[in-house]
């Protein structure tokens, strides 16, 4: 559905209204997180994440559930929590359709290569990677253009994205 | 390499190459800005420049993945290649250039230095840079490609040297091209062989024999296979034509064409379908919902046609489809070029083309859809579309254009919608 689709806008407005009514009824109108904001976070590449996004999300369990559902619906590839703990070697997550690898740069040990390889033809190429982490909240990163079914990006080894990707209990979505 | 005595000439001023580090094989080579975790947009081109069979760096270093850090942004073009190659030679041999190097030039696969644009603008930035960096002009050299344009003999006391080959550039700064440490890639055709063999069991033995022969024919075949895999068909066609001029080259070309013929998609692999969107004769296309009818249904008694959607699907999802849809309001080829040409949606084995008619089509209007199908998405200039979109399917013009693609391992499918 196009971002400016009027039906979509109407539906989001209705969901926002319902959520506002629920919040008022529950006496929790402050710090509310609208459904349309969550929808934009997941679907709109141009959405700028507000500074208080994490805090508001953390304090709203319903919003967390909605975000997870939206993410599962929008994701081209979902990489669930890993069964085993990460090892000292390169971090690797492999699911049907994609392989994610983190490799330390030899040029700078403080930097990592995040590589995503697509192993089957997808309906479209992912634009973003989102990691859902209990420690940091959701972390989103724009992916570079895929070339030969592969995208590679450099991230800081201590960045929240890297730490979240290295943590086995996080969920990864390619959107 | 950590010295900053090799500079890439850019229109914004010389940019120092700060370091080159070999990364783990399997990583794509990147150019990063000043040690930061930021790969510059030219990284993709740098990766191609490094990795065999297209790239030249791996050929003499034996390694296919590097990170190069530069002091300033390089956003586009190929003119960074000469300075990058000099830096790689210095890094590989452990020899430092005898002079500070400012270089601009594109390097081809045969290690010729090819002309680049905006050389005067680049030279114009050097003088200010020299004084700001306190670089001794007598201990520096500017290296640019040899071409017909007039350039000064020196800039701020730094001699400007024109070169035709990498070898000349290296000798100017006391470096030598290392001997090739790695064999020229044996694998482009083998890789292709590994990736997609499922549909070719019936010719497996023949293909294997040809693959072995391709292996022994070396670099040209590898380069052609890489061009084919990247969908750069016009470049492939030109490269084959060049090689075809010599006797040995002609044998190689014939063998390679034989290989391509084995990889041709089946004739009936593409399916077309689509819909015509219409409204009543007195209605406005923008004001009411459209009725939809299958595209290949007779439209002779149809109401007003508002739009057309056509799709092409490959039944083998390992194949790529590209194509164009051309709108001929007065009939096929009735004017020099179609009124509109559509490129279609993004996709791999399935694409959709849409046209909304600004004015209702008249009887005789034709919309021609041409789908080109093969191993990779076709990139770059595609001159064959002129004939494929304008000529009748049974004409020699269409057949010649389709044959060009067939000889490159790609099959053409076309269909037309005619408003009667």
CB environment B120-131: b (16+ within 10 A), e (fewer): eebbebbeebbe
Q: How far is CA B204 from the centre of its chain?
A: 30
CA distance B345 to chain A (A): 11
A150 in reach of chain B (CB within 8 A): yes
A80 in reach of chain B (CB within 8 A): no
User: Does B301 score more than 80 pLDDT?
Assistant: no
Mutate to test the interface with B, among A92, A107, A121, A123 (most CBs of B within 10 A): A107
Q: Band of the pLDDT at B205, cuts 50, 70, 90?
A: low
Q: What are phi and psi of B145, to 5 degrees?
A: -70, 145
Please give the pLDDT value at position B4: 58
3-class SS at A172?
A: strand
Contacts of B39 in chain A (CB under 8 A): 144, 152-154
Asked if the Cβ–Cβ distance from B346 to A121 is below 8 Å, we say: no
A119 in reach of chain B (CB within 8 A): no
Mutate to test the interface with A, among B30, B37, B196 (most CBs of A within 10 A): B37
Question: Which residue has better confidence, B60 or A4?
Answer: B60
B349 in reach of chain A (CB within 8 A): yes
Asked if the Cβ–Cβ distance from A111 to B317 is below 8 Å, we say: no
| pLDDT tens string B314-357 | 876 678 888 899 999 988 888 888 888 888 777 777 888 888 88
Please give the pLDDT value at position B381: 79
| pLDDT tens string A43-64 | 887 888 888 888 888 888 888 8
Asked if the Cβ–Cβ distance from B37 to A155 is below 8 Å, we say: yes
Distance CA A81, CA A172 (A): 8
Q: Between A121, A152, A154, which is nearest B38 by CB?
A: A154
Q: Which two tokens stand for residue B5?
A: 């005595």
Share of chain B above pLDDT 70, in %: 87
Cα atoms found within 13 Å of the Cα of residue B173, Cβ hemisphere only: 32
Q: Between B39, B44, B346, which is nearest A124 by CB?
A: B346
Average pLDDT over residues A102-123: 91
Please give the pLDDT value at position A62: 85
Contact of A110 with A158, CB cutoff 8 Å: yes
3-class SS letters over chain B = CCCCCEEECCCCCCEEEEEEEECCCCCCCEEEECCCCCECCCHHHHHHHHCCCCCCHHHHHCCCCEEEEECCCCCCCCCCHHHHHHHHHHHHHCCCCCCEEEECCEECCCCEEECCCCHHHHHHCHHHHHHHHCCCHHHEEEEEECCCCCCCCEECCEEEEEECEHHHHHHHCCCCCCCCCCCCCCCHHHHHHHHCCHHHHHHHHHHHHHHHHHHHHCHHHHHHHHHHHCCCHHHHHHHHHHHCCCHHHHHHHHHHHHHHHHCCCCCCCEEEEEEEEEECCCCCCCCCCCEEEECCCCCCCCCEEEEEEEEEEECCCCCEEEEEEEEECCCCCCCCCCCEEECCCCCCCEEEEEEECCCCCCCCCEEEEEEEEECCCCCCCCCCHHHHHHCCCCCHHHHHHHHHHHCCCCEEEEEEEECC
Distance CA B159, CA B142 (A): 6
Distance CA B391, CA B398 (A): 6
Please give the pLDDT value at position B351: 84
Closest chain B residue to A156 measured between Cα atoms?
Answer: B37
Closest chain A residue to B67 measured between Cα atoms?
Answer: A107
Q: Indicate the pTM of the whole model.
A: 0.55
User: Does B151 score more than 50 pLDDT?
Assistant: yes
What letter does residue A13 receive in the DSSP assignment?
H
Contact of A40 with A123, CB cutoff 8 Å: no
* End-to-end Cα distance, chain B: 70
Closest chain A residue to B351 measured between Cα atoms?
Answer: A123
Please give the pLDDT value at position B26: 83
Please give the pLDDT value at position B196: 42
| pLDDT tens string B81-118 | 999 999 999 998 888 899 999 999 999 988 999 999 88
Question: Which residue has better confidence, B190 or B368?
Answer: B368
Please give the pLDDT value at position A164: 92
| pLDDT tens string B230-281 | 888 888 888 888 887 777 778 878 888 888 888 788 887 888 888 888 888 7
Q: Which helix (H) or strand (E) holds A57?
A: helix A53-58
Q: Between A106, A147, A152, which is nearest B22 by CB?
A: A106
CA distance A21 to chain B (A): 35
Closest chain A residue to B18 measured between Cα atoms?
Answer: A107
Place of tokens 């407005």: A13
- Spatial neighbors of B55 by CB under 8 A, at least 6 apart, are B47, B48, B49, B64
Please give the pLDDT value at position B19: 93
B153 in reach of chain A (CB within 8 A): no
């Amino acid at each position: 559905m196009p971002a400016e689709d009027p039906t979509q806008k109407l539906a989001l407005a209705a969901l926002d209204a319902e959520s506002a009514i629920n919040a008022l009824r529950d006496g929790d109108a402050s710090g509310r997180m609208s459904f349309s904001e969550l929808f934009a976070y997941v679907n709109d590449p141009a959405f700028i994440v507000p500074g208080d996004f994490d805090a508001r999300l953390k304090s709203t369990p319903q919003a967390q559930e909605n975000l997870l559902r939206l993410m599962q619906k929008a994701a081209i590839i979902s990489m669930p929590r890993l069964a085993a703990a990460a090892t000292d070697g390169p971090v690797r997550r492999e699911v049907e359709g994609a392989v994610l690898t983190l490799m330390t740069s030899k040029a700078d040990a403080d930097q990592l290569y995040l590589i995503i390889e697509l192993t089957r033809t997808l309906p479209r190429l992912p634009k973003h990677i989102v990691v859902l982490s209990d420690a940091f909240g959701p972390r989103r990163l724009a992916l570079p253009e895929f070339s030969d079914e592969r995208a590679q990006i450099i991230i800081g080894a201590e960045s929240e994205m890297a730490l979240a990707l290295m943590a086995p209990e996080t969920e990864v979505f390619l959107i | 390499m950590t010295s900053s005595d090799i500079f890439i000439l850019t229109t914004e001023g010389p940019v120092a190459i700060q370091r080159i580090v070999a990364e783990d094989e399997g990583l794509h080579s990147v150019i990063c800005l000043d040690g930061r975790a930021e790969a510059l947009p030219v990284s993709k081109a740098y990766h191609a420049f490094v990795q065999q069979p297209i790239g030249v760096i791996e050929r003499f270093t034996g390694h296919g993945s590097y990170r190069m850090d530069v002091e300033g942004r390089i956003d586009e073009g190929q003119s960074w290649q000469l300075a990058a190659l000099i830096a790689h030679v210095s890094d590989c041999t452990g020899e430092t250039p005898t002079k500070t190097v400012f270089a601009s030039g594109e390097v081809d696969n045969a290690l010729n230095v090819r002309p680049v644009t905006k050389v005067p603008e680049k030279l114009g930035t050097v003088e200010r840079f020299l004084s700001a960096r306190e670089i001794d002009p007598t201990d520096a050299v500017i290296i640019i490609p040899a071409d017909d344009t007039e350039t000064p003999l020196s800039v701020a006391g730094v001699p400007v040297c024109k070169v035709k080959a990498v070898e000349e550039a290296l000798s100017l700064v006391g470096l030598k091209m290392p001997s090739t440490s790695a064999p020229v890639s044996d694998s482009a055709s083998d890789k292709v062989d590994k990736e997609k063999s499922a549909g070719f069991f019936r010719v497996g033995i023949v293909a294997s024999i040809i693959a072995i022969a391709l292996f022994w024919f070396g670099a040209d075949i590898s380069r052609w296979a890489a061009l084919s895999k990247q969908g750069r068909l016009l470049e492939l066609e030109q490269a084959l034509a060049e090689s075809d001029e010599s006797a040995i080259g002609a044998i190689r070309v014939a063998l390679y064409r034989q290989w391509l013929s084995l990889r041709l998609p089946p004739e009936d692999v593409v399916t077309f379908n689509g819909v015509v969107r219409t409204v009543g004769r007195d209605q406005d296309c923008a004001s009411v919902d459209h009725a939809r009818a299958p595209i290949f249904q007779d439209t002779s008694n149809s109401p007003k046609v508002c739009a057309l959607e056509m799709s092409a699907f490959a039944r083998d999802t390992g194949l790529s489809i590209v194509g164009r849809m051309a709108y001929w309001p007065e009939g096929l080829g009735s004017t020099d070029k179609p009124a509109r040409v559509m490129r279609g949606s993004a996709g791999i084995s399935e694409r959709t083309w849409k046209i909304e008619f600004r004015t209702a089509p008249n009887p005789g209007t034709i919309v021609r859809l041409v789908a080109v199908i093969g191993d990779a998405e076709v990139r770059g200039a595609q001159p064959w579309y002129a004939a494929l979109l304008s000529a009748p399917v049974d004409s020699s013009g269409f057949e010649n254009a389709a044959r060009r693609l067939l000889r490159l391992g790609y099959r053409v499918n076309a269909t037309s919608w005619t408003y009667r």
